[in-house]
Amino acid sequence: MRQRMQVTSGSVEQNAARPLAVVVVEYAVAHDIIGGGEAQKEGVEETATGADAIALPPAAVQMLFALGTMTERVVIAIFGDGSAAEQAFRSTWHATAQELKAALAAGRDSRQELEELFKRITLPQLICCVLPWRTLVDLPRRQRALRLAQRAAAAPTAFARTVRDARKARKDFLGALSRWVVQATLAADPVRIGNAQHARVGREVLIDAEWNDAGELVRINSLATTFRAHDESDVRETETKHDKLRASWRWSPAIIDHQWAATYVREVWWPAVQQRGLVPASTTMRHAMSMGTIAWFINPTPRSGKTPPVAGAYLSKALNDTWADALLEGMREMGRDDVPETTDEARELWPIVLGPHKVRHLWATYWWGLRGPNGPVRVHRHGAEERTCGQYIARRATGDVDTTLESHYVKCQEVMSEAARHPIAHFDHPSAYHREMDITWWVGKKIDWASRWRDKTFPLQERMRRSFLAEPARQRTRERPRVRRRREAHLLPNADRSAS
């Protein structure tokens, strides 16, 4: 039976100069309220607080840091008088915060776990294999299933089970569309997770679109982001906040498909805005997207009573799970049989590294670590060449300084060197997709992924190629009988045609 925490005058005096969160979590770990902590008893020096050093799991360390930060804000807000007690509190919390940050960084920088992830997915594979598979195969297949289910449910003789199947098909399609938009957005714009979670349409996410007279979306022409620090939201400036390079970032149409982005706005974003009452009933879609108060990553199925800082946004755990589900689904479709079947199993195997923040590692490792000074080149109509280097792209994409990129984000070069032993045409070779990746940087261009995938020389995993080629064949099989019946009816006399 778990013990209750006792608060006595002695314990208050003993912990007077320590952040409350530190005391609470230490007690919780010691009494098995938070699992995974192990008190180091022998051969360990006592800490400055006089307690045994406790090895916390990463989630507990993160919670401790968040609680300590909130505690610090509350205490300073109450006792912000510069007294000796406040100074002692600030000093103690500063030392504790540094230790916690180091522990979190050690957990995030687990090279072994990152190597396991990089053996299964790279930035070029994410952009050139997984995302095209979603837009060419996965989403169209689910959309066709939804239309067939809705058509069957609308029939006069439809059963209750048919209606339930239609609702299930719609939920399945909207879930796939939500996973796609999270994956495609972060692949196109590797911002920090806080920026992505709380980015608002019309303020951080800028959409150039065409509208009809009713204010409804017709098509999307371009997508871009601009991040500034706003006190009323949790969007933070990057480390290079005085560098204008990252102030505006245009999403490449070769990475994020504009047609599916428009479908997401119509089918997921706008219905969620209306159902949750985030705008007045008379507001048009066009006006809502220019207000700057609604999140781009909108949660279509929010939990009641839990409102994140930006209206409609995913909670952190929900966004992390959506990204992890999409990533694992894509890796399995690539033929990675060593990927766990469920997200929970994957998180036990690879704690932390399945978070959306790791897409920054993918960007930096490819553009800074692999491409380096050799970046995309394009030739203009008048014959002049335009060049850029991979290091410039990584610096601008992540918004981080060179020291951070070199020491933190550029990882797993050993994995890249091992993968380079494959033939250059192998889909696991680091240089296999240089041509396509160069096009993604020159954002005005699109890529005809269907033509690329039909080309046998394109380094695509065979499982994905078969999946893609099977989709048009199935579509032709469904359409052929209908065409044949139409032709046969055309050859029949009028009387026989009406009888048929």
pLDDT category of residue 446 using cuts at 50, 70 and 90: confident
CA torsion angle 388 390 396 399 (round to 10):
-160
For residue 178, give both structure tokens. Answer: 């939500």
Query: Domain extents for the chain?
Result: 9-108, 114-454, 462-499
Q: Is 272 exposed, middle or buried (0-12, 13-18, 19+ CB in 10 A)?
A: buried
Phi and psi (nearest 5°) for 4? Answer: -85, 145
Pair 273, 298: CB distance under 8 Å? yes
**Which of 41-45, 109-113, 263-267 has the weakest average pLDDT?**
41-45
Average predicted confidence (pLDDT) for the chain? 75
For 311-356, what is each residue's pLDDT tens digit?
Answer: 788 888 888 889 999 999 999 888 888 888 788 888 777 766 788 8
In this predicted structure, what is the pLDDT of residue 356? 85
Three-class SS of 409-442: HCCCHHHHHHHCCCCCCCCCCCCCCHHHHHHHHC
Region of 32 on the Ramachandran plot (φ > 0 left; ψ -120 to 50 alpha; else beta): left
- The model's pLDDT over 406-417, given as tens digits with 9 standing for 90+, comes to 877 776 667 777
Strands 38-39 and 54-55: antiparallel
- Does the pTM surpass 0.75? The reply is no
Task: Report pLDDT for 67.
Answer: 65
